[in-house]
Structure 1
């Protein structure tokens, strides 16, 4: 009887010691968590060798590292967003200021021919601004989920030809001409016609803004390849060319929002196709592949 009582007392003392030890461990963990809450980047540490406590400590440290990584990514994204907004505001202000300047010159000019030239130049700047705002509007729809496709069978060549004819004046001003090489003029693809028109428009406009030579459009099976020459100062990175707001540095001053090729890739993928880019010396190729 006495032996059982002694064993019982020893067990009670041991349980009390374990309880006190657990309380101290929890207080230590709470104290360290409070330090982390105040901005400390320390990791939790415990003296216990109990499996459950060690597992809790490892889990909390893993969550803390994940939170720190998320914070760094968020701050990086926020800084990038601010840079993009600043650049976009500059890009929008540039053609607007140009148009305003030409209108002012036209108002002060007495020569009819000169006035017509100034007004035409102002109209060109306003068209640049309209294209940029249209791309920005489409970008918000694509990223906001408020976008629906109307997919149907579309004949590619007539739609592409229509886009090229619509930009005839820009080709004339640049002194270049497009070359279209189709192995199958009857090629039809499943696509949203307006989206496909926007894709062609953006690729042609990109070649006009940043290209230095003729634009060559080649069709091979269900692939369309847009190829043009780029200058040494406007060579893009093919790995980044489809990222939102991406621009080659020297192209920053030109009338571009940096969203054109992002929209191309996004629309192609939503229609089940793909868009890729490659740069071989001074030749930039954008490759569209349509789904079967």
Structure 2
């Protein structure tokens, strides 16, 4: 009888030990899952368990986690490819649109009938609007891109600026703006990402044209080694309320009604790309003149 009681007691001890071990392993699994869910860990679940059923459950959960990771990675790759495609297409569309606008601007100066002039004017404004939308698509794709890596190369920054001013001649003429350009006698070269610098300068110029109430002033000069300073000034309407400290925030626009067609993403892209290139950009307003200073490298 005593032997039977001893055996029962030992069995109860073994069952209690196994129960406590199982409870401990369940708590451990719960902790691992919680850390995965909260992003505190990326490790797969530990499946070196005493209980075979728990071990099988952990294995199934690991397969599910692995499948989800592959699905997320595939989705991210697709999104990045889509964003890159939008950026590339938008960039490629800008050149033919600029050419179209240039020829339309020349046609506006020809001797036309009232009906012809009206049609040309309609096409011109629609093309301008299309160019703005293309630029907005590009800017949004840049803002949404998680990783942007500069691809540095040597190029002539002076020529790039002159080309951009020429491309924007129709927009300048449409608002009767005459840009005043101060360039050094020698060309300035940079070792930087050409596309990024082009987008930065284009957005600064677009912003100045859109909100300027008078002629625009631009200057370019050499700073420290492989650095250049670009300044653009434009007078603004005294009724326009612009906070220079917020000018580079996403979707910020001093025109609450967005009457000028601004979306508030252009200068946010300027800030983002400038930071990526290790440069600085700032803005100030004095006597109703907005001055943006860009130090780029």
Q: Shorter-normalised TM-score: what interval?
A: 0.5 to 0.7
- Quote the offset at 1:150 in angstroms: 0.7
Which residue in the other structure is 2:201 paired with?
A: 200
Which residue in the other structure is 1:20 paired with?
A: none
Which residue in the other structure is 1:164 paired with?
A: 165
C-alpha contact 1:153 1:189 (8 A) present in aligned 2:
yes
Give distance in 1, aligned partners of 2:212 and 2:118.
29
Give distance in 2, aligned partners of 1:231 and 1:194.
32
Q: Secondary structure at the match of 1:189?
A: strand
User: What is the TM-score with the length of structure 1 in the denominator?
Assistant: 0.57
Give distance in 2, aligned partners of 1:163 and 1:218.
14
Which residue in the other structure is 1:119 paired with?
A: 123
Q: 2:293 aligns with which of 264, 287, 290?
A: 287
C-alpha contact 2:235 2:290 (8 A) present in aligned 1:
yes
Structure 2 residues not aligned, in runs of 5+: 1-113, 224-228
- Quote the offset at 1:239 in angstroms: 0.7
Root-mean-square deviation (CA, aligned residues, Å) is 1.9
1:260-271 to 2 correspondences below 5 Å:
260-271=266-277
User: What is the TM-score with the length of structure 2 in the denominator?
Assistant: 0.56
Give distance in 2, aligned partners of 1:124 and 1:214.
20
Which residue in the other structure is 2:232 paired with?
A: 226
Give distance in 2, aligned partners of 1:201 and 1:171.
13
User: Residue 148 and residue 174 in structure 1: after superposition, are their counterparts in 2 closer, same or farther (change >3 A)?
Assistant: same
Which residue in the other structure is 2:283 paired with?
A: 277
Give distance in 1, aligned partners of 2:245 and 2:131.
30
Alignment deviations for residues 47-92 of structure 1 (CA, whole Å, 9 cap, x no partner): xxxxxxxxxxxxxxxxxxxxxxxxxxxxxxxxxxxxxxxxxxxxxx
Structure 1 residues not aligned, in runs of 5+: 1-109
Give distance in 2, aligned partners of 1:149 and 1:284.
29
Which residue in the other structure is 2:245 paired with?
A: 239
- Quote the offset at 1:115 in angstroms: 3.1
User: Residue 152 and residue 248 in structure 1: after superposition, are their counterparts in 2 closer, same or farther (change >3 A)?
Assistant: same
